[in-house]
Amino acid sequence: MSENPDPTSPPDEQAAAARPLREVMLVFALSALLTRALSDLAAISALVSEYLFTLVAAVFLLIPYAILTRRGRDLEAHAMTWRGWPRAAGAGLLLALAIAAPFFAGYHLWRTQVLGHQFEFDADHYRQLPVLLEGRPPALDAAAGPAVQIWKEGGRVHLTWSTGQGRHQLDIELDPGPDGLVILDAGRNHAADPLRRRGADPPGIAILSTTTARPALRSASVRLRDADDLSIRVRLDGRPAPGLLRLGPQRLTPEEIGEVDAGGALRLSRGLGWIPMIIAAQLLLVALPEEFFYRGYLQTTLDRAMPRRARLWIFHLSPAILITSALFGLGHFIIDLRPARLAVFFPSLLFGWLRDRTGTITSCVVFHAACNLLVESATHHYL
């Protein structure tokens, strides 16, 4: 990217415009490096994984705050203000309502026609297991000994287990009640370790794995259906072994959450308690820090160097909005190396327009969180 945004302008103006651009690129590179490093550390450290969202939020909040305060810049001039917040929050909510119908239509076509997923609307899908299970834990070491991990992503419950050294039988029994479990993916490693459905006593699914001298990893994915809770029993050579179970990205043990009965079974209840928690998380740990960084700091800094606008009715675009949105997409791609993550460029255009329209990032925070919650509400109905 050229450092001279407008080669026809006088040299002094070109230099004045290039300085904010250099600053933005350096700050973005620093934030991308830190967030990528935290993401990598989370894959090997349970402590970092537990506080990953908080650590990433701190990066997005502290870096621009330190720069702005050190240089004596006014936070309010960077749209970081609560002034007029009810009106700004209302604007974010109204825009979310306006895009809800076209979003759900486009999301449905993408999931069914592009990804080949099956749509099945059921309010029961919103009843979820405890949020402590949400998120992928660090990978198991197959040679370290028998262990069982269980976690969830959206509506899926995932299991990974290691067989360890020596010959023994590891049984994992998932008991959600009659017809309460649907197998989504038995994994490629089940040729010798088939999943088999139990009879009426007890109902559920048993996953069997018999080891040899060579350690191995196994995996499976399931979905709960019309079940109030999930009982998990782990047996090693026929003996109860609840200590082998690890829950969620923090790898909590059943004893740590205090839900093990006298027979060594872990019982997890389903409910709607995750909804207020995810709303708070999306507002405070995702939308607020990202909007503080991208729309409050980056876009405002760029806008001072490139204030031009292209208007269409009440909407407008600017070089600052376009560059910020490109960096927003790139930042998401750096964390999760999938090309689909670059698609956040498009909602980012609306985030940038809202910031200019309302003069505060409050509207962007509310709209950003609402967009993420729309995705969250839709994803539970596709298999």
More confident residue, 205 or 301: 301
In the predicted structure, residue 333 carries a pLDDT above the cut 70 = yes
Q: Which two tokens stand for residue 332?
A: 């998401």
Nearest to 88 by CA among 375, 381, 365, 303: 365
pLDDT at 211: 57
Q: Side chain identity at 23, as an amino acid letter?
A: E
Coil, strand or helix at 72:
coil
Tell me the pLDDT band of 124, cut-offs 50, 70 and 90: confident
Instruction: Please give the Cα distance from 234 to 279 (Å, whole number).
Output: 34
pLDDT at 122: 82
pLDDT at 169: 78
For residues 331-348, average pLDDT = 92
Per-residue model confidence as pLDDT tens digits over 206-215: 666 665 667 7
pLDDT at 291: 96
Instruction: Please give the Cα distance from 159 to 245 (Å, whole number).
Output: 10
Least confident among 179-183, 294-298, 346-350:
179-183
The whole model's pTM is what?
0.81
In the predicted structure, residue 251 carries a pLDDT above the cut 90 = no
In the predicted structure, residue 188 carries a pLDDT above the cut 50 = no
Q: Does domain 133-269 have CATH number 2.60.120?
A: yes
Q: Which two tokens stand for residue 104?
A: 């759900």
Tell me the pLDDT band of 254, cut-offs 50, 70 and 90: confident
CB 369 within 8 A of CB 282: yes
Nearest to 298 by CA among 85, 66, 57, 23: 23
In the predicted structure, residue 226 carries a pLDDT above the cut 80 = no
pLDDT at 198: 41
For residues 222-242, average pLDDT = 83
The domain ranges of the chain are: 11-115+274-379, 133-269
In the predicted structure, residue 190 carries a pLDDT above the cut 60 = no
Instruction: Please give the Cα distance from 71 to 299 (Å, whole number).
Output: 17
pLDDT at 280: 94
Coil, strand or helix at 44:
coil
Nearest to 172 by CA among 144, 189, 148, 199: 148
Find the DSSP H helices in 121-225.
Answer: none
Antiparallel, parallel or unpaired: β 169-175 and 245-247: unpaired
pLDDT at 256: 78
Per-residue model confidence as pLDDT tens digits over 37-52: 999 998 788 778 778 8
Tell me the pLDDT band of 296, cut-offs 50, 70 and 90: very high
Least confident among 119-123, 260-264, 352-356:
260-264
Per-residue model confidence as pLDDT tens digits over 138-159: 888 877 888 899 998 867 888 8
For residues 175-187, average pLDDT = 63
For residues 292-302, average pLDDT = 95
CA atoms within 13 A on the CB side of 139: 8
More confident residue, 292 or 308: 292
pLDDT at 263: 75
Tell me the pLDDT band of 91, cut-offs 50, 70 and 90: very high
Find the DSSP H helices in the chain.
Answer: 11-42, 46-50, 52-70, 85-109, 254-257, 274-281, 288-291, 300-305, 319-335, 345-358, 362-379
What is the per-residue DSSP string for 210-228? E--SS--EEEEEEEE-S-S
pLDDT at 196: 45
In the predicted structure, residue 202 carries a pLDDT above the cut 50 = no
More confident residue, 28 or 142: 28
Instruction: Please give the Cα distance from 97 to 90 (Å, whole number).
Output: 11
pLDDT at 8: 47
pLDDT at 306: 85
